[in-house]
Structure 1
């Protein structure tokens, strides 16, 4: 059974909180997709270094500017290979004792019904209600 949009957002928030709390453990738990993406970045970086090296060698035989462009390509390829990909992370909030989430100033606002300002239920109460509704369905 697929997750609803709100459940996917909650799961994403929990993943981000885990990553913020224990990045070493979170990096060990990343799936094969993340490793494949990292491997792809390294391969692209290596190809970029080879292209830059070829430009540097051509630059030694022709003009200095070609060599300078080659060096810039090498630096950019190495930086690309060693930096992790950017992910659109939402600003993490702090969970209050009553279950509400306090977000930092300027952070993205929550989406959907659960994030509306007029909601009188706390986060935990909404989760409990949703759990009860699911249990009653089956």
Structure 2
């Protein structure tokens, strides 16, 4: 939805005031593409996932090699799994933001059965308007 002329003038005025107050920050904000931030976060989440795999495998190895350290190995494995899970969720949410929204199947689920029935039959206001129109035309 486009801005009205008044809103556009106000936005321009705010932008000029920002440039006058802090030109370096204004240039940084204007030149920054949000996609860069999303990609950077995806890379960080990927690195975190790899760290989680390493932690989990280290915990499994400790449990297999040193019988006295079952608790330490279990804690490391669980910590690695949690790191992997958190990084996966974070990476997927950033991926959605970077690609522009929800997955295709969730983008337009379509009307439910009740909504379809409502759209097929005229509502009360439609019937009243139709009766009013007929009355005005003399039918």
Query: TM-score interval w.r.t. the shorter chain?
Result: 0.3 to 0.5
TM-score (norm 1): 0.39
For normalisation by structure 2, the TM-score amounts to 0.39
For the pair shown, which has the larger CA radius of gyration, 1 or 2? 2
